[in-house]
Structure 1
Amino acid sequence: MMEKVKVGIVGLGRLGRRHAENLAFRIPNCELLAVCSVNAEEVEQVQHDWNIKYGYTDFDRMLENKELDAIFISSPSGFHCEQIQKALNAGFHVFCEKPLGLYLEEALLVQEVVRKHKDKVFMIGFMRRYDKSYAYAKKKIEEGKIGEPILIRCYSLDPAKAIRGFMQFAKSNYSGGLFLDMAIHDLDLARWYLGAEAKQVWAVGGAYAHPEFRELNDAETGAVLVKFENDKIGIFVAGRNCAHGYHIETEIIGTKGTLRIGTIPEKNMVTVFDENGAIKECSDGFLERFEQAYLSEAEEFISCIRENRQPKVTVEDGVISTALGYACKKSFETGELVNVESLMNTVASS
């Protein structure tokens, strides 16, 4: 068994820096040996503050470092497809944040490359599967606690106070839009919990408080109705303008019961009593709400490398969830009902 897995990370933005910190300080048998970013100041600061041996502003140069065992990709979504291919072809194990790419064609290309490198660990960052509450709900479903799961309802709402920072990201053309960037986590959970694949998708949405979303051909708030196999149902709401904070909520309805996760997006177990009443403060954002899950998924990636096994989250999960997100995007843009299987076949044959 490998003693220490030596990792290089690309992308040092908000999430990338959290991943880098976990790899550097919180995961046994892991060494963050190299960091890479197009921002030279970010690289220099992290190297200096954390005593990281290698720093790069060129991803290809980092791949020439033979001391590394694995590459952790947390760059903007538009770079994922190319960087996954290059890293696998250079002989590295690869972790990549969602999505696999901004287009279904890219996701299918990644799948092909991953399948050619079966000796390498590949993992996609669907971190909610590693959140303790979400994992507990999955266990309850497998135990038959709610009977056969037949409907899932998901809310993914970003805090309104983060809208200005997000608009800069959206204008870079690397977000992929509301459904591929945000709802993809819920779409993955739906497949995981329902044990079924999507058949048809209808998506609606608009720009309400922030008309600039319309100029980007994107939705500020959107909703999706999905028909899954065996007539199972998915209802998804995603938005960028949540006044009370970061609200991630999931409900799974079964033939014998219901599970709800995150109904009140509590920051912690504290209730504040003041002139405003009894207040339960809400999470500020994804880094706070899923702090444990981001660490757990990185721990799993390192364990898979050391134990020579593949993670339960596969490249196929990434492809199918991307196809579903892309179907939502197409339905929103055209106003039409989209058949997911036909979309997949059309893209695969083109």
Structure 2
Amino acid sequence: MGKVKVGIVGLGRLGRQHAENLAFRIPNCELLAVCSVIQDEVEQVQKEWDVKYAYTDYDEMLKNKELDAIFIASPSGFHCEQIEKALHAGFHVFSEKPLGLYLEEAVRVQEVVNNHPDKVFMIGFMRRYDRSYVYAKKKIEQGKIGDPVLVRCYGLDPAKAINGFMQFAKNNYSGGLFLDMAIHDLDLARWYLNAEAKQVWAIGGAYAYPEIAQLNDAETGAALVKFENNKMGIFVAGRNCAHGYHIETEIIGTKGTLRIGTTPDKNMVSVFDDNGVVKECSDGFLERFEQAYLSEAEEFISCIRENRQPSVTVEDGVLSTALGYACKESFETGELISVQSPYKTKPLSI
């Protein structure tokens, strides 16, 4: 086939990065349409990048039969509905995480995806495409650390981003600390341990920003997860990291340990001045995972052209959402929660 023609919905920080990758950095791809409810965003991108079509109505974009695929980078609460509509309209679909804010709707989306086996569907767990995380996975598969038994993850957003988060959360777009932030780490643990979660206990609080408690959420939280075969996961997530964007992962095995991102270095430069020797830190997720966001989009386009499905499946989205939901429920109730099968769910409030 020729170039894959893509329409993207959502032009916020991450959406704009995805749009730029699709427009300028991926061979055999054409960004044909952009969509946002914010008129100024649409007009700016269309003008600056010479995009053929621009929409403020998602349903109108889905009527465009020149498109091959839809790339969803809108707020989390819209993902499920937009995925279903795009698949029913006959498009291949990429959706940012999480799959949805409600577990039952994530399960429903999986059914819709499975009913369209001729369409490529991909969920945006971009860390699986980060070179360091991929390298660690290969080391595990090669037996370098024996049998992995514990995964420890830190996911800490920079404190300077708190105002942007508060606006996002007040619009009910977040889903909470564990579904919005920790879900990447929860997915990685499932991937590295090759096991599903059985029980979880989560705690946390709003320490520097008590207004987050009014949203029934935590500013900093932690979860202890028991996986199949007594494997373990320790997860710390927070929105008040003074030194920058800190993403760290450790995998402990029976014969060794792997660590990824032990210090969140911005680059290989050390600054020597009156502050001593300083290693600057990454400012945020777009900087730290720039390569991974590009690589996952490249994989999506390659899957369409090669008529195959990606290794990250809709089931990964459902199971990681189930674990994130269990963490959220444990935090809210203070109880040890057994992680139930996501295919026998009842509605949970957020």
- Normalising to structure 2: TM-score of the pair? 0.98
TM-superposition CA deviations, 1:65-116 (whole Å, max 9, x none)? 0000000000000000000000000000000000111010111011010000
Is the contact made by 2:103 and 2:345 (CA closer than 8 Å) also made in structure 1? no
Q: Secondary structure, in 3 states, of the residue corresponding to 2:202?
A: strand
Q: Does 1:79 align with 2:53?
A: no
2:112 is matched by which residue type in structure 1? V
Distance 1:39 1:341 in 2: 39
Give, in angstroms, the shift of residue 343 of structure 1: 6.5
Is the contact made by 2:266 and 2:279 (CA closer than 8 Å) also made in structure 1? yes
Distance 1:64 1:341 in 2: 39
TM-superposition CA deviations, 1:152-182 (whole Å, max 9, x none)? 0000000001111110001011100000000
Is the contact made by 1:327 and 1:343 (CA closer than 8 Å) also made in structure 2? no
* Aligned position for 1:133: 132
* Aligned position for 1:237: 236
* Aligned position for 2:262: 263
Q: Secondary structure, in 3 states, of the residue corresponding to 1:347?
A: coil
Instruction: Point out where structure 2 has 5 or more consecutive residues left out of the alignment.
Output: none
* Aligned position for 1:113: 112
Distance 2:341 2:126 in 1: 29
Distance 1:347 1:17 in 2: 35
Is the contact made by 1:77 and 1:100 (CA closer than 8 Å) also made in structure 2? yes
Distance 1:66 1:170 in 2: 35
Give, in angstroms, the shift of residue 342 of structure 1: 5.6
* Aligned position for 1:277: 276
Is the contact made by 1:159 and 1:284 (CA closer than 8 Å) also made in structure 2? yes
Distance 2:345 2:261 in 1: 37
Is the contact made by 2:5 and 2:66 (CA closer than 8 Å) also made in structure 1? yes
Give, in angstroms, the shift of residue 347 of structure 1: 3.0
Is the contact made by 1:323 and 1:344 (CA closer than 8 Å) also made in structure 2? no
Give, in angstroms, the shift of residue 48 of structure 1: 0.4
* Aligned position for 1:182: 181
Q: What is the percentage of aligned positions where both structures have the same residue?
A: 84
Q: Secondary structure, in 3 states, of the residue corresponding to 2:240?
A: strand
Within a 5 Å distance, the mapping from 1:325-344 to structure 2 comes to 325-341=324-340
Q: Say if 1:233 and 1:68 are closer, same or farther in 2 by CA, change over 3 A.
A: same
* Aligned position for 1:227: 226
Give, in angstroms, the shift of residue 3 of structure 1: 1.4
Distance 1:347 1:141 in 2: 36
TM-superposition CA deviations, 1:185-239 (whole Å, max 9, x none)? 0000000000100000100000000000110000000000000000000000000
Is the contact made by 2:199 and 2:227 (CA closer than 8 Å) also made in structure 1? yes
Give, in angstroms, the shift of residue 346 of structure 1: 3.6
Q: Secondary structure, in 3 states, of the residue corresponding to 2:181?
A: helix
Give, in angstroms, the shift of residue 341 of structure 1: 2.1
Distance 2:11 2:66 in 1: 21
TM-superposition CA deviations, 1:284-338 (whole Å, max 9, x none)? 0000000000000000000000000000000000000000000000000000111
Q: Say if 1:156 and 1:312 are closer, same or farther in 2 by CA, change over 3 A.
A: same
TM-superposition CA deviations, 1:244-277 (whole Å, max 9, x none)? 0000000000000000000000000000001111
Q: Secondary structure, in 3 states, of the residue corresponding to 1:187?
A: helix
Q: Secondary structure, in 3 states, of the residue corresponding to 2:298?
A: helix
Is the contact made by 2:318 and 2:342 (CA closer than 8 Å) also made in structure 1? no
Is the contact made by 2:103 and 2:342 (CA closer than 8 Å) also made in structure 1? no
Distance 1:78 1:226 in 2: 26
* Aligned position for 2:55: 56
Is the contact made by 1:271 and 1:278 (CA closer than 8 Å) also made in structure 2? yes
Is the contact made by 2:107 and 2:343 (CA closer than 8 Å) also made in structure 1? no
* Aligned position for 2:68: 69
Runs of 4+ in structure 1 deviating by more than 4 angstroms, as ranges, are: none
Is the contact made by 1:150 and 1:254 (CA closer than 8 Å) also made in structure 2? yes
Distance 2:146 2:339 in 1: 27
Is the contact made by 2:70 and 2:92 (CA closer than 8 Å) also made in structure 1? yes
Within a 5 Å distance, the mapping from 1:191-340 to structure 2 comes to 191-340=190-339
Is the contact made by 1:93 and 1:305 (CA closer than 8 Å) also made in structure 2? yes
Q: Secondary structure, in 3 states, of the residue corresponding to 2:224?
A: strand
Distance 2:155 2:284 in 1: 11
Q: Secondary structure, in 3 states, of the residue corresponding to 1:49?
A: helix
Distance 1:172 1:106 in 2: 20
Distance 2:309 2:153 in 1: 28
Is the contact made by 2:145 and 2:253 (CA closer than 8 Å) also made in structure 1? yes
Aligned pairs, how many?
347
Distance 1:261 1:345 in 2: 35
Q: Does 1:92 align with 2:91?
A: yes
Is the contact made by 1:227 and 1:233 (CA closer than 8 Å) also made in structure 2? yes
